[in-house]
Structure 1
Amino acid sequence: MKAMIFAAGLGTRLGDMTLTKPKALADINGRTMLGLTAEKLVAAGFDDLLVNIHHHPEQMLEEIDRLRSRGHKITVSDERDELLDTAGGLYRARAFFGSEPFLAHNVDEFTDMDLPGMYSQHIGSGALATLAVRHRPGNRMLLVDAAGRLRGWRNNATKEEIITVENSRKLEEVGFSGIQVLSPAIFDLMTEGIYSLTSLYLMLAKNHTIMTCLHDYGYWFDCGTPRNLEKIRAHLREDK
């Protein structure tokens, strides 16, 4: 199965560390974010990988070559000319994916959720996309109905709210985990540009099925900050 790892970001939340190396190469107990994510995906059956690059590209290419030497099959999507955000980056790489559903995974999200299970749920639902979500505190939250369909978005800090379907009732807040399974038909509804997958999902949810997959079990870390990066290091040390 195919998967894309979003690894082109600037990593500004990590501060000075990303002045000299890309976020995807942050050290986690002797391994890189990218290496750990690739290993996890391959272990889950996603063994044909695509990685996008932008920030410190030569370092990224060196790490990708190292992972290839260990047997990983990795294609590169080059965004050195312009950082395209998640939806724009995905659309640029569309020729890679073929006719089967595929997974897309932020490089800085770490979880033990059942990825093959989410993939199977997506196929069974007939959805255009299935987003991994979790009950957790946060400011920018997705809004879902009782069936788990995406119905909106809320920023709890600014009180901004987007509702995709009028008269939606009993909507529940969930946090997006940065992992999704998508059907290739989504490319027919996309265009070139610089924009996020979240904005795309909210637009498409008005007329298409965007589902969620809840994973309240196990662990999840967004390692885009120094504090959370240390949390995943500690967790993996304890989990040995």
Structure 2
Amino acid sequence: MKALILAAGKGTRLAPFTDHHPKALAKVNGIPLLERNIRYLQHYGINDFVINIHHFGQQIVDFLRKHDDFGARIEISDEKDELLETGGGLIFARKFLDHGEDFLMMNADILTDLNISDFIAAHQEKKDFITLAVSDRKSSRKLLFNESMMLRGWLNSTTGEERLTEAKDKLIPLSFSGIHCVNPGIFHQIKRIGKFSIMDEYLDMMQTNLIRGYEHQALLIDVGRPESVLQAEQYFK
């Protein structure tokens, strides 16, 4: 299975480091996030990667070259002209991913000990269109699932925005973990173009496709702020 690692973002919350570097090269105990996630996925037998880049993208290319791509097969999806967000970035990388097989997507700034093999197996066993890793943790934005863990909505508790297919009092709110398992048929269903969030497409597709949450209790840290780097260093040596 191929994995798309999303490493294009500007990472403004990690300033001042990201004033001069891509967030994917921020270090936790001396090891860059990108290296950690490549090695993490390799541990589960994934060795084919697509990495999208934009912000100081050449630094990522140079880093990978310096380390011989960590023995992996790596293709670069270079969004040098425009940062396209998760949805636009996925469409831009289509030529690397649309080959009839499910693929993994993962944010470069996520560190976790989630068993990826179990996650992929659950996706393939249920033959879902999309599977989203989710957990019960603090977040202002929640995905909403029914008792069968099918996606049925989204809400932002800070702004009051919401997207629902049924009454939210019957739904289970969980936080997205930044890891997706995706059927390549998605490329034939995405309607947006340019710069957009893939979550907006998922919320459109949830009416007609099997988009399921995979609830886990694994350790997961979004290394998006300097203080979260310190938190991550307590767990990821």
Verify same fold: TM over 0.5: yes
Give the alignment's Cα RMSD to 1 decimal.
Answer: 1.3
Q: Contact 2:152 / 2:166 at 8 angstroms: preserved in 1?
A: no
Query: What one-letter code is carried by the residue in structure 1 that aligns with 2:224?
Result: G
1:204 maps to which residue?
Answer: 205
Give the 3-state SS of the residue equivalent to 1:70 in structure 2.
helix
Q: Contact 2:50 / 2:76 at 8 angstroms: preserved in 1?
A: yes
User: Would you say how many aligned residue pairs link Structure 1 and Structure 2?
Assistant: 235
Give the 3-state SS of the residue equivalent to 2:83 in structure 1.
coil
Name stretches of at least 5 consecutive residues in structure 1 with no aligned partner. none
Query: In the superposition, relative to structure 1, how do residues 28 and 168 fare at CA in structure 2: closer, same or farther (>3 Å)?
Result: closer
State the TM-score, normalized to the length of structure 1: 0.94
Q: Contact 1:3 / 1:50 at 8 angstroms: preserved in 2?
A: yes
Q: Contact 1:145 / 1:169 at 8 angstroms: preserved in 2?
A: no
| Per-residue Cα deviation, 1:95-139 (whole angstroms, up to 9, x for no partner) | 212111010000011111111111111112221100000001110
> Sequence identity of aligned pairs in percent?
37
2:24 maps to which residue?
Answer: 24
For 1:140-159, what aligned pairs fall within 5 Å after superposition?
Answer: 140-159=141-160
Distance in 2 (alpha carbons) for counterparts of 1:85 and 1:146: 31
Q: Contact 2:6 / 2:107 at 8 angstroms: preserved in 1?
A: yes
State the TM-score, normalized to the length of structure 2: 0.95
Query: In the superposition, relative to structure 1, how do residues 188 and 173 fare at CA in structure 2: closer, same or farther (>3 Å)?
Result: same
Give the 3-state SS of the residue equivalent to 2:236 in structure 1.
helix
Distance in 2 (alpha carbons) for counterparts of 1:214 and 1:145: 12
> How many angstroms does 1:66 deviate by?
2.6
For 1:135-214, what aligned pairs fall within 5 Å after superposition?
Answer: 135-163=136-164, 165-166=165-166, 170-190=170-190, 191-214=192-215
Q: Contact 1:68 / 1:74 at 8 angstroms: preserved in 2?
A: no
> How many angstroms does 1:29 deviate by?
1.4
Query: In the superposition, relative to structure 1, how do residues 180 and 89 fare at CA in structure 2: closer, same or farther (>3 Å)?
Result: same
Query: What one-letter code is carried by the residue in structure 1 that aligns with 2:51?
Result: V
> How many angstroms does 1:69 deviate by?
4.8
